[in-house]
Structure 1
Amino acid sequence: FDNGDRIARILALRREAAGLLGFADPVEWSLATKMAPNAGEVLAFLRDLARRARPFAERDYAALRDFAARDLGIADMQPWDVAFASDRLRRARHAIDEAEVRGYFPVERVMQGWHALLERLFGIRLVPRDDVPLWHGDACYFDVVDADGSVFAGLYLDLHARSGKRGGAWMADARPRLDDGNIKTVPVAYLVCNFAPKSDGVPALLSHGEVETLLHETGHCLHHLFTRVNRPSIGGINGFEWDAVELPSQLMEDFAWDRGVLTAMSGHHKTGAPLPPELFERMVAARHFQSGMALLRQVEFALFDLLLHLGTLGDDPMAVIEAVRDEVAVSRPPAWHRFPHAFSHIFAGGYASGYYSYLWAEVLAADGFGRFAEAGLVDRATGDAFRAEVLARGATRPAADSFRAFRGRDADLDALLVRRGLV
């Protein structure tokens, strides 16, 4: 079951392909169509994040080790104990009854708050249509109506799980915006989730994570629907730099962590009472649990990806990952561990030489959300600016220019640390 030879072959073919296209290595090839300018800047970005996160990660790990010894009888915590001890520590510190949280988020109430948030932020209304063919009774279709009353887009919505439906949550473009002088169409998107349906007289109830998911996919949809570009290949999400495409989705996700917004999306399915402030505070505290360790882990994955494809540390994935861990890790897997050989994101997915983009986009989203926070959060003027400078522009200019036009400056790394509670 050793797939090491396959990894070597994949790397060799990627380097050959990069050379044939005139690039020095697969990283230069990857970054040619991304926001980050070069490998040196990405490596500096990741190492700066590691330096800032490390004190918090060391504190997290020390607290976990002490808890394991004191409360669990694990005097010498080993790597295979970490997940178990972390789960027990999370329960001890942030005991949250997920069923209790779900009770405050019946899907009908969440959707009412969702509609209201979109109208307050962007001035749009979603008007249901009953004359559009649908693939299932759970699905529905909306005209997206602007503040001036014009229909400028369409949205299919399919929220609930059922037999035979693909799992997960996603956004996809059903139709692009187009105006070539002969044909004129408005953009249409799909927003699909797999929330549990109602059962036994109990309405469909969402977890807070599912509320986040709804807002995340909404951000992707808005990026497609708000485009003002008439060329499909560079309109909306198409052609947009990979390492910035999560900016709208992660920014919208952060509204699920604002007390006012979340309270407006809540209402207990039995009493109608909004989410209690005390429960919200416990949810926020749990969000930041071991965030230092989590951030360092993401940096570890991203550095491994970049350095392996650069080839500066050789071609042996185990040698590369161990060198990266020497640099950034606070918890080391045992020597027999073979994480690289299961890292499907970069060997069987689309993240080769680009895994860093998760963190790169998170900086953009966190700092972009900061402008909303500075303006009082649900601020129409800020929403209009985000729509005009980022969402509507597509790939007609570099994403960095669009971000600067919205924020007034380059992204600030500190925003990600604030988002993660590392301050």
Structure 2
Amino acid sequence: MKVFKFGGASVKDAESVKNVALVLESEGFENCLLVVSAMGKTTNALEKVVKKYFEKEDYETEIEKVKQTHLEISTGLFQNGHAVFAEISLFFDDIESFLRRNKSPNPNFVYDQVVSCGEMISSKILSEYLTDIQFRNTWIDARDYIKTDSNYREGNINWEETQKQISTLDQNTCYVTQGFIGSEANNFTVTLGREGSDYSAAIFAYGLNADAMTIWKDVPGVMTGDPRKFENVTLLDNISYEEAIEMAYYGASVIHPKTLQPLKQKNIPFYVKSFLDPKKAGTKVSSTEVNQQLESYIVKENQHLMHISTRDFSFIAEEHLSQIFALFAKQQIKISLMQNSAISLAVCLEDKYETLDALNQELQITFNTEVVRDVSMYTLRNANLEDLKSFYEGKNILLEQISKKIIQVVTN
């Protein structure tokens, strides 16, 4: 069985949805499970709904905007009176109903119940469209199959229960389902982290013992750099799981960091291909002896640089590090890069849950801190150490770290 994942850009409008059908026609739709993201910028729009809800502002207007966008897309795919229009309206009625009766003060719980609707709606629209054009498929709710703990917004997979549920799927049937979402023991929705649809596809591939998994992007495959940000980048045709994991760890946006582990465990090959040109080979990630290790550029934006130092000029010792890292874990802040000297620790971090201010307040009880906000972290992998002029050119370096052939700098 094959697993295909289509991201938000590949279903952003009616023409894009039609193009998905062309890709499936080109690739073959037999014995296939499709994992679908929310359409276009829907996730951002629903995040705005949650924000306005907690700020006690007019969130209903934002819901109506998202609803109208989906109805307009559907108008380009279905005839008037099609049952899908009523289903779309019902999804948005459910969002409003949930927010009206919600008593939970937990923003992460509310986030997951609301934002997950983007995937539910997009997968329903795609499934209905494929049925209309004679691509027989069964729509399934991913929350019935991917089971997690109650760590809202960053669910941890219960692999035993998930494997049990996915194994009930018929390998001779074509399915359409959602990325990004699962459910906990009480069947409340839990999301798997931003951009988690790739991870969902890998979980289904793992549970199905899939022959292969393909992620369809608006780029030709895994490149030596984001072509929108770097010049003269080239395609990596063939790389190992280990190389891909390293690239994901350093922030390569084309690969979700958690995606590769379940695929590697069962040696399932993973392809990254372009939905704009599906005939091209793209990138193959597998257990390969032909592992391209070309010089590659990665940038992580929206980072923050924090300097932490002891107040009495004593060394940053193990007990200090233990205390600092415990606070990072408590505030769910991810470290992208760190560097320590005798009396200070520099940390480049990602403030995904907007808890940096709370972290800073707690740290300042014991330490001196300084924060530089909105920095970028550049990583150069497989660097040619004899020719680094172009990499450093025009950058105001706040932090630098070099190890083997990997160079990382933080800039503002």
Is the TM value for this pair above 0.5? Answer: no
More helix by proportion, 1 or 2? 1
Q: TM-score, normalised by structure 1?
A: 0.25
More strand by proportion, 1 or 2? 2
Q: TM-score, normalised by structure 2?
A: 0.25
